[in-house]
Amino acid sequence: MISQGLSIIIPAYNEEKRIEKILDDIRETIHGVYEIIIVFDGNDSTPEVAKKLCSDCRILTYNKRLGKGGAIIEGINAAKGEVVAYIDADGSVPASELERLKNMMKRGEFIVSSRWKKDSILERRQTINRIILSRLFHYYVFAMLRIPIVDTQCGLKIFYTNDARDIAKKVRVFDWTFDISMIFHATKSGLTAREVGIRWTDSDGSKLKITKTVPNMFLTVLGIWVRERYERSSFIRNAMDKIDRNLLNHSRKVD
């Protein structure tokens, strides 16, 4: 069980209409919260809305797009709690589930929430098209990377903070496949992934554009595989860096 506090990270790109629900839920439900960190990299009123709702939240603002992963990494690096949890701003995962899952974690583990475990409760399901794409993507990810997780994309992950910082240094993708890269590098580093079924509901207002985002996700997973397979080749590393920056347009340089 966590003994020294929890830092909750919420990436918030244009979330002024949805962030109230998750903030109210967290403050009313979770015990032992050290801080709530909202990372904003958009161009709307989300910071002002969040400040009114949560005057003691830490709000990190950036004038350029970081991507979901980039925003989460900024939150991880700023976190002061012993444990970090990052959760989507859409409220699809109730804060009560974060409270339950954080108390399960042990040293050497990290927690992955899952919509596809047998004990999961889906209060409102995704459309059939998204379910099919999700399952196809899972099999593709497993075939390429052998990640032993059935739901890499569910919007809640929990790590010990020092573990998360070490893993984040290895991440090279910051779009919707950020979670996959975190899980991949975490398991490679010797941490055990603990996948737990949760209560979940499909929320309105998703920013995932299937025709644009899904092809990039498949390409990015391929990129992770290429980097891993040819990690000793400086030519491949440089080529993949160039693809990340110029073709897929979702990555930023990490030292």
Quick one: three-class SS letters along 15-75? Answer: CCCCHHHHHHHHHHHCCCEEEEEEEECCCCCHHHHHHHHCCCCEEEECCCCCHHHHHHHHH
- Binned at pLDDT 50, 70 and 90, residue 207 comes out as low
Q: Is 122 helix (H, G, I), strand (E, B) or coil?
A: strand
- 36-45, 102-111, 139-148: least confidently modelled range: 36-45
Alpha carbons 64 and 61: distance in angstroms, whole number: 9
The two tokens of residue 177 are: 């496949």
Comparing C-alpha atoms, which of 30, 36, 41 is closest to residue 10?
Answer: 36
Alpha carbons 119 and 199: distance in angstroms, whole number: 9
Q: With 50 as the cut, is the pLDDT of residue 155 above it?
A: yes
In this structure, are residues 151 and 116 in contact, taking their beta carbons and an 8 Å threshold?
Answer: yes
Q: With 80 as the cut, is the pLDDT of residue 46 above it?
A: yes
Task: Give, as one character, the DSSP assignment of residue 8.
Answer: E
Report pLDDT for 64. 83
- Count of other CB atoms within 10 angstroms of residue 132: 11
Alpha carbons 223 and 229: distance in angstroms, whole number: 10
Give the HSE-up count for residue 152: Cα atoms under 13 Å, Cβ half-sphere.
Answer: 28
Give pTM, 2 decimals: 0.86
What count of residues does the chain have? 255
Report pLDDT for 227. 82
- Binned at pLDDT 50, 70 and 90, residue 210 comes out as low
Task: Please say whether the dihedral angle defined by the alpha carbons of residues 72, 74, 76 and 79, taken in this order, is positive or negative.
Answer: negative
Average pLDDT over residues 69-94: 94
- Count of other CB atoms within 10 angstroms of residue 253: 8
Alpha carbons 87 and 23: distance in angstroms, whole number: 11
- Count of other CB atoms within 10 angstroms of residue 23: 21
- Which residue type does 204 have? D
User: Buried (b) or exposed (e) across 26-48, using 16+ Cβ within 10 A?
Assistant: beeebebbbbbbbbbbbeeebbe
Each residue of 161-181: pLDDT tens digit? Answer: 999 999 999 998 888 899 999
Strands 33-40 and 58-61: parallel
Which of the pair, 152 or 239, is modelled with greater confidence? 152
Q: With 80 as the cut, is the pLDDT of residue 242 above it?
A: no
Comparing C-alpha atoms, which of 110, 123, 192, 113 is closest to residue 155?
Answer: 113
In this structure, are residues 94 and 149 in contact, taking their beta carbons and an 8 Å threshold?
Answer: no
- Binned at pLDDT 50, 70 and 90, residue 31 comes out as confident
Report pLDDT for 1. 40
Most confident segment among 108-112, 205-209, 216-220: 108-112
Domain range summary for the chain, segments of one domain joined by +: 6-204
- Among the CATH numbers 3.90.550.10, 3.40.50.10860, 3.30.930.10, 3.20.20.410, which is that of 6-204? 3.90.550.10
Mean pLDDT of the chain: 86
Count of H-run helices and E-run strands, the chain: 9, 9
The two tokens of residue 164 are: 């998360």
